[in-house]
Amino acid sequence: MPDALHVGLAGYLSRNRFSGDDEREDGALVLVIDDQYRVFCHPAQHGDLVFEARLMVLPDSGQQVYEVLRQAMQYAAGRLAQFADTLVLSRDESTLLLQQRISADATGSEFEESLENFLNAIATWRRSLFVL
């Protein structure tokens, strides 16, 4: 585990008896929740934390990619003002990801509330993109 683990994440891991064995080479910790959600917790600048989840792999066809991206961007624009999650494209441009930044000074309860909101956002996005 990283030396300077986000305080909210450390408390969550302790309360839920996660071992932290799922740490990756890039420093991310992987939380598997309800055997349904895989959330990567990436360390960020200034002690912040970024939740990340894969929403979908983009189709191979150019026209299908265009249509998925158009629909996703339209949906994302409607969420900007109300929700903390952000739609991003993977570095290799093959996958749509969802991210949410958590402040370094978030309390344990704020961390858990943010994680719950992020899990709800994943479910909402998957429904919106017709991903089961």
The rounded Cα 117 to chain-centroid distance in angstroms is 10
CATH architecture for the domain at 7-128: 2-Layer Sandwich (3.30)
pLDDT at 22: 59
The residues with which 42 forms a beta bridge, in sequence order, are 50
CA-wise closest residue to 105 among 29, 31, 48 = 48
Question: What are 20-34's pLDDT values in tens digits?
Answer: 555 677 778 999 898
Supply the pTM of this predicted model.
0.89
pLDDT at 2: 46
pLDDT at 21: 54
Low-confidence spans in the chain with pLDDT less than 70: 1-4, 19-23, 132
Structure tokens at 9: 């994440």
* Cβ atoms < 10 Å from Cβ of 69: 14
Residues in the chain: 132
What is the Cα–Cα distance from 118 to 36, expressed in whole angstroms?
Answer: 13
